Amino acid sequence: MAKTGIRAVEFIGDSLVYLDQTRLPLIEEYVKTDSYEVIAGAIERLEIRGAPAIGVAAAYALALSLKGKTQNPRETFEAARKRLASTRPTAVNLFWALNEISETFELNFGRSDLYTCLINKAGEIHQEDVEKCEAIARNGLEIFKPHSVVLTHCNAGALATGGSGTALNVIKAGFEHGLVDFVYSDETRPLFQGSRLTAFELKKYNVPFAMNTDSTAAFLMQQKKIDLVVTGADRIALNGDTANKIGTYNLAVLCAYHNIPFYIAAPETTVDRSCPEGGAIKIELRGKDELTCFKDVRITSDEYEAYCPAFDVTPSSLISGIITDKKLYKPPYNF
């Protein structure tokens, strides 16, 4: 579906096919499954990651829970929904997608083609995400001036969505329109989504780039090498406060100090209309092995305690604009 040729998730042969992102960039391995439990585990292990991609995968997974099931469909469906909802607490797209499939379940319960109805709905969610990614890219073009140098954090490209990406798709569109000359990609500790995944995509797109440690961002700004920062989002509150990968808040503060525009790009479905402000966003805490180990290789003592939030919240006052599939919002935000 995605124009980039990179596919995070696809539905082929009545099964979900996903790219195991924990093995990138050295190994491109695709997994094919029709098990919602396997998909749930993949979301937890970050084999499938990025708020929109998680939503798309969860929609297919919940529909697949009824594949070949004729006995006790409600019990099976509710167990699958509960399991999938437990995987990642911060990304709102997950819960939005589960709700969409649940509504379809209720509307069609009792029909002999219930499974087909659910799969068709999941396919609609996927196709909508493809279209939203393209709209985000178009709406984001106005943030660039000619010869812009952009810094981004984590991965918000095709690997994070069902389509061509959010923040990275905006940057890619800017490059294709002759507005972006160069991209800096934060490595994004502790799991290196920037140096593994964003770098992987930028190389595929032939966009000139360099990786840098997260702590190098301030020095780049001090040297006046960065014109703007664009990142994705996993949840946006009604007032514009935004949760994204840990380290995003650091960048927003640095941008404010150096007078550099800081933008968020995400679909409208990332706006949580039940969340008034950032303090209400639940932040996922990950296991300390993600900090003490890498690829099963221990890099520091397991005896040490570690604090490992997966996300932080950037106050809306630090955000220059929020790019969605509808428009480029400017402050003050009031979704």
Active-site annotation, residues: 234
Beta strands at 297-298 and 293-294: parallel, antiparallel or unpaired: antiparallel
Q: Which two three-digit tokens encode residue 334?
A: 């009031």
State how beta strands 297-298 and 235-236 pair: unpaired
List, as one string, the DSSP characters of 287-312: PTHHHHEETTEE-S-TTS----BSEE
What torsion, rounded to 10 degrees, do the Cα atoms 278, 272, 36, 48 define? -60
Residue 72 CA to its chain's centroid (Å): 34
Cβ atoms within 10 Å of 330's Cβ, excluding its own: 11
Q: Return the bridge partners of 312, or none.
A: 244
Burial 4-22 (b: 16+ CB within 10 A, else e): bebbbbbbeeebbbbbbbb
- Write the CA distances from 303 to 98, 285, 300, integer angstroms: 39, 18, 9
Q: Phi/psi zone of residue 105: left (φ > 0), alpha (ψ -120 to 50 degrees), beta?
A: alpha
Token pair recorded at residue 101: 């499939």
